[in-house]
Amino acid sequence: MKLLMFDTNDFWYKTFSKSVESVESYDKEESTTDSLVIFINVEKEDEERKNKVVKKAVNNIRWLAKKTDRRKVVLHSFGHLSESKSSVEFAEEVIKAINDKLTAKGFETLMTPFGYFLEFKIHVKGESLAKVWKSL
């Protein structure tokens, strides 16, 4: 799994087009402020270690949230962080599991619609910890 994590002032997105035909149809637009925005690439090798990568992802997000004093998290599937990609079904399952664990730990979470290309705007802070990449 690869994570690209941003500490943002503002994040806005709108669904543009489906990238996975089997997903539910959405015409959605949302925004949030003062959030961590997490781009996630679930990799093929993660399929053999689901619980481990979910736990590591949650721990890394919680670490950054503590360092940046954030309680809001946006999760976005972003398959461009690695050449390795899990099945679509597994990626969606893992991202939902991360979302559920963060919610259970008191975070306010938002998931962008899975299987969509998005139009988005992101205002990332300038500090060093505002841009963090992790390979799990």
Which CATH number do you get for residue 48? Answer: 3.50.80.10
Task: Please tell me the pTM assigned to this model.
Answer: 0.93
According to DSSP, the β-strands at 72-77 and 108-111 are parallel
DSSP alpha helices (H): ranges in the chain? 50-68, 88-104
Domain span at 82: 2-135
Instruction: Encode pLDDT of 37-83 as tens digits.
Output: 999 999 999 999 999 999 999 999 999 999 999 999 999 998 888 88
Task: Work out how many domains the chain is built from and give that number.
Answer: 1
* Overall residue count recorded for the chain in this entry: 136
Angle at 47 between CA 44 and CA 48, to 5 degrees: 115
Instruction: Encode pLDDT of 72-119 as tens digits.
Output: 999 999 888 888 898 989 999 999 999 999 999 999 999 999 889 999
Residue 22 has pLDDT above 90, yes or no: no
